[in-house]
Amino acid sequence: METTFLLAGGDRRQFWLARLLGSKGRVFSVGVPERTDCLPDVPADILILPTPCCNPCGRLRCASLPEGLDPAILRGTYDIHTRVYGGAMPKMPDALLPDCGPAFDLLTDPTVAAVNGRLTAEAAVSLVMEQTEDSLFAQSCLVLGWGRIGKPLALLLSGLGAQVSVAARRPAIRAEAAQLGFAVRDFETPGPAPALVFNTVPAPALSRTALNALGETLLWVELASAPGGLPAGWEPPFAVLHANSLPGKRLPYAAARALMDGILHREGMQ
């Protein structure tokens, strides 16, 4: 029997995901960019929510609705057998979708997370080159964090000829970065002020003294999820480029492929 997919809300990733899943079953959608709303008349086998799933009001994120998509619109389209996928899923998905089946957060899938990190790094470099209209060659760059975004970002910047330093808290992580040829720092002594700082740590890691010492001429690129790397209520002396959720904004097709692979792998449909 043909698998039924229902996609709700989201951005261009959901549009491309709907297109890609067309070869795997029947696809319905509501609140998906550039698609006509069409709900199934029986509960869907698989319900795919946005990445990230919800806005601060508890509604589904939806590019065409600033207030978000009311999850109540989905009643009758799922039951206890419907498998639910999304990104940054709430801790209690049953509060969002009463009586749904098992829910899986795609951003906890190691493969999806790794691809998302690489796409974020690629999109960040592209965005900075557009914003500054300058070459990254020989630019001094500091990458804060050495995780799924920080590591591929440092490697990509280095490949473009930038002078890259990496700041990380754990000595073992700094040792790994040093083995790859990067200058390493800790957060307490970030060193000379660079031209660009790419933050991938989702919490302030540098003290205000260290932040002030960075000066006024650098560009801070904020890639981390909330609350980000700058103290709340603090006015930085330098320019800040907020660059969250870049895969969905700049590389939605590639991001959709990663999400589809995560879903199909878990469903045993690859």
Q: How large is the average pLDDT for residues 26-32?
A: 98
Distance of alpha carbon 112 from alpha carbon 89, whole angstroms: 14
Instruction: Specify the pLDDT at position 215.
Output: 86
Instruction: Specify the pLDDT at position 110.
Output: 95
Q: Which helix (H) or strand (E) holds 250?
A: helix 246-250
Asked if residue 208 has pLDDT above 70, the reply is: yes
92 and 39, same domain (yes or no): yes
52 and 154, same domain (yes or no): no
Decide which of 87, 108, 129 is a domain's last residue. 108
Enter the pTM of the model. 0.91
Distance of alpha carbon 103 from alpha carbon 117, whole angstroms: 23
161 and 209, same domain (yes or no): yes
Helices (H), 92-189: 93-96, 110-132, 150-159, 171-179
Instruction: Specify the pLDDT at position 190.
Output: 67
Q: Give residue-wise pLDDT tens across range 32-61.
A: 999 999 999 999 999 999 999 998 888 999
36 and 96, same domain (yes or no): yes
R_g over Cα of the chain? 21
Decide which of 108, 134, 153 is a domain's last residue. 108
Is there a contact between 13 and 32 (Cβ–Cβ < 8 Å)?
Answer: no
Instruction: Specify the pLDDT at position 225.
Output: 87
- The tally of domains found in the chain comes to 2
- Quote the mean pLDDT of the chain: 94
20 and 86, same domain (yes or no): yes
On whether residue 75 sits in a domain, the answer given is: yes
For residue 15, the enclosing domain spans 3-108
Please list, in sequence order, all residues whose beta carbon lies within 8 angstroms of the beta carbon of residue 170, skipping any fewer than 6 positions away: none
140 and 70, same domain (yes or no): no
On whether residue 217 sits in a domain, the answer given is: yes
Residue 131: both structure tokens together:
């914003």
On whether residue 266 sits in a domain, the answer given is: no
82 and 11, same domain (yes or no): yes
104: confidence class by pLDDT, cuts 50, 70, 90:
very high
104 and 121, same domain (yes or no): no
Is there a contact between 89 and 71 (Cβ–Cβ < 8 Å)?
Answer: no
Q: Which helix (H) or strand (E) holds 105?
A: strand 103-105
Distance of alpha carbon 189 from alpha carbon 167, whole angstroms: 9
DSSP label of 80: T
On whether residue 253 sits in a domain, the answer given is: no
On whether residue 244 sits in a domain, the answer given is: yes
Please list, in sequence order, all residues whose beta carbon lies within 8 angstroms of the beta carbon of residue 246, skipping any fewer than 6 positions away: 119, 120, 123, 124, 127, 223
Please list, in sequence order, all residues whose beta carbon lies within 8 angstroms of the beta carbon of residue 194, skipping any fewer than 6 positions away: 139, 140, 141, 142, 165, 214, 218
On whether residue 205 sits in a domain, the answer given is: yes
Query: What does 180-228 look like in DSSP terms, one character per residue?
Result: TT-EEE-SS---S--SEEEE--SS--S-HHHHHTT-SS-EEEE-SPTT-
Asked if residue 74 has pLDDT above 90, the reply is: yes
Asked if residue 92 has pLDDT above 80, the reply is: no
Query: Would you call 28 helix, strand, or coil by DSSP?
Result: strand
Residue 72: both structure tokens together:
């109540």
Sheet holding 140-144, edge to edge: 183-185, 163-167, 140-144, 196-199, 219-222, 239-242
122 and 239, same domain (yes or no): yes
Asked if residue 138 has pLDDT above 70, the reply is: yes
Residue 81: both structure tokens together:
């057998």
Decide which of 55, 84, 108 is a domain's last residue. 108
On whether residue 254 sits in a domain, the answer given is: no
- CATH value at residue 50: 3.40.50.720
pLDDT above 70 coverage of the chain, percent: 99
171 and 209, same domain (yes or no): yes
193: confidence class by pLDDT, cuts 50, 70, 90:
confident
18 and 130, same domain (yes or no): no
Taking the alpha carbons at both ends of the chain, their separation in whole angstroms is 16
128 and 204, same domain (yes or no): yes
94: confidence class by pLDDT, cuts 50, 70, 90:
confident
On whether residue 260 sits in a domain, the answer given is: no
Distance of alpha carbon 137 from alpha carbon 158, whole angstroms: 9
